[in-house]
């Protein structure tokens, strides 16, 4: 019997289970789990899936497992948010077993696993969840009952929606969304007033990233800042996490406009929503901007838009080079495997970026 035949038999045998789960979820008695313990950008890009799940099965209980630093962005997107600190050095295995025990007690009917890691797939399996839906790609697929084709040419927000197709049709554009609370909105308003910045009359720069192959040089960001302020009278504000304070400090001309580490994720999103546009690398701030519809320029280095992480919206513009060796990674790197330095980034000049925003100035 061939592999394709085996796969077909397996799906056919699970059809009664799918029918039972679908009926249970529709009646409001079912429980759904989503596991996405990757980086912030990946969590933002899973929000269309969460939105569609709640739209199709509004009365089912929806739980999401994420890492602690991503919890804020899911405010209002799920009924329950479970935190799993996979980067904890001491007691990480115990935390994982505690997570599995908790999930097993909840008796979920179905798990959607867009995260393709071995641990995410194994977690759903060991939790005893009868229906486990994920992509064919990655080690997590070893533990799925339903493996969905991973379409490289699709935007990630749209790609994740294919997991829901196993249980239901849906109507969603795949563009992420975030629920900015009135509290976070007020914080952003007060901060901008304190800095003397008016809505739509300033630019946000986000120079940081966890991957060095996604960080355009500080000198280039500084040049962009000076050009915008001196030639176009547009003040610049820098955002980032607590680890980006130094790089953001080097970018802004006024120290008070370095907000790295000062705002929550939704607070930063509220600031981005008020900016004329944002310039960032292929990292989380770009996805925050997509979620609130802010115009943006995304600088791609070792990665590529064709992997599905560039938003298919008219408000987004891409700057990249045609260097023969890129893309060399779909996530990012902390070293250059070819030259020892990131020519894919250094070949991008401030003038190239300014040309992309000229009609926004």
Instruction: Check residue 144 and give its pLDDT.
Output: 95
Domain boundary among 132, 166, 200: 166
217 shares a domain with 145: no
Residue 174 lies in a domain: no
* DSSP 8-state class, residue 81: E
348 shares a domain with 265: yes
Residue 112 lies in a domain: yes
Instruction: Check residue 11 and give its pLDDT.
Output: 45
161 shares a domain with 189: no
Instruction: Check residue 90 and give its pLDDT.
Output: 61
206 shares a domain with 102: no
109 shares a domain with 52: yes
346 shares a domain with 213: yes
Instruction: Check residue 89 and give its pLDDT.
Output: 63
The answer to whether 21 and 109 are in contact (CB under 8 A) is yes
Residue 224 lies in a domain: yes
Give me the torsion for CA of 149, 152, 157, 160, rounded to 10°: 10
Burial 118-140 (b: 16+ CB within 10 A, else e): eebbbbbbbbebebbbbbeebeb
The answer to whether 286 and 311 are in contact (CB under 8 A) is yes
- Alpha carbons 179 and 74: distance in angstroms, whole number: 8
Q: Which residues pair with 110 in a beta bridge?
A: 32, 131
145 shares a domain with 38: yes
343 shares a domain with 205: yes
Beta strands in 245-306 (DSSP E): 277-281, 296-299
Token digits of residue 17:
């289970």
Domain boundary among 166, 201, 221: 166
Q: Which residues of the chain have pLDDT under 70?
A: 1-13, 89-91
- Alpha carbons 93 and 90: distance in angstroms, whole number: 8
Residue 249 lies in a domain: yes
User: Is the whole-model pTM more than 0.85?
Assistant: yes
Domain harbouring 147, CATH code: 3.40.50.2000
Token digits of residue 278:
């944002």
18 shares a domain with 112: yes
Domain count of the fold of the chain: 2
Token digits of residue 250:
């080097």
Residue 188 belongs to what domain range? 182-360
Residue 176 lies in a domain: no
- Alpha carbons 73 and 76: distance in angstroms, whole number: 9
What pLDDT digit, counting tens, does each position of 68-81 carry?
Answer: 999 999 999 999 99
Residue 66 lies in a domain: yes
64 shares a domain with 142: yes
Residue 199 lies in a domain: yes
Instruction: Check residue 237 and give its pLDDT.
Output: 97
Centre a 10 Å sphere on the Cβ of residue 150 and count the other Cβ atoms it contains.
16
220 shares a domain with 342: yes
141 shares a domain with 223: no
Residue 171 lies in a domain: no
Strands 61-66 and 31-35 turn out to be parallel
- Alpha carbons 150 and 304: distance in angstroms, whole number: 17
């Amino acid at each position: 019997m061939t592999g394709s035949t085996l796969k077909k038999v397996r799906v056919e045998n699970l059809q009664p289970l799918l029918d039972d789960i679908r009926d249970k979820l529709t009646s409001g008695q079912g429980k759904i789990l989503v596991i996405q313990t990757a980086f912030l950008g990946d969590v933002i890009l899973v929000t269309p899936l969460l939105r569609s799940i709640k739209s199709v099965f509004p009365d089912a209980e929806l739980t999401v497992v994420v890492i602690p630093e991503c919890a804020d962005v899911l405010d209002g997107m799920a009924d329950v948010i479970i935190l799993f600190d996979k980067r904890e050095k001491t007691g990480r295995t115990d935390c994982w077993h505690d997570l599995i025990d908790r999930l097993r007690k909840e008796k979920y009917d179905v798990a959607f696993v867009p995260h393709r890691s071995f641990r995410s797939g194994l977690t759903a399996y060991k939790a005893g969840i009868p229906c486990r839906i994920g992509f064919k790609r990655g080690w997590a697929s070893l533990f799925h009952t339903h493996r969905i084709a991973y379409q490289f040419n699709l935007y990630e927000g749209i790609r994740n929606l294919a997991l829901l197709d196993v249980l239901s049709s849906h109507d969603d554009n795949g563009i992420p969304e975030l629920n900015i609370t009135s509290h976070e909105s007020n914080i952003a308003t007060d901060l901008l007033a304190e800095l003397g910045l008016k809505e739509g009359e300033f630019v946000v720069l986000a120079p940081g990233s966890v991957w060095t192959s996604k960080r355009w040089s500080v000198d280039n960001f500084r040049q962009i800042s000076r050009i915008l302020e001196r030639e176009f009278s547009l003040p610049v504000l820098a955002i980032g996490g607590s680890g980006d304070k130094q790089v953001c400090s080097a970018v802004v001309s006024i120290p008070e406009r370095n907000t790295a580490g000062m705002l929550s994720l939704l607070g930063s999103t509220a600031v981005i929503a008020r900016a004329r546009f944002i310039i960032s690398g292929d990292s989380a701030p770009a996805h925050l901007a997509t979620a609130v519809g802010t115009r943006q320029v995304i600088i791609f280095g070792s990665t590529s838009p064709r992997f599905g992480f560039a938003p298919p919206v008219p408000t987004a513009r891409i700057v990249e080079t045609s260097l023969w060796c890129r893309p060399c990674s779909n996530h990012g790197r902390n070293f250059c495997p070819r030259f020892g330095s990131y020519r894919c980034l250094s070949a991008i000049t401030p003038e190239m970026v300014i040309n992309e925003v000229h009609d926004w100035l």
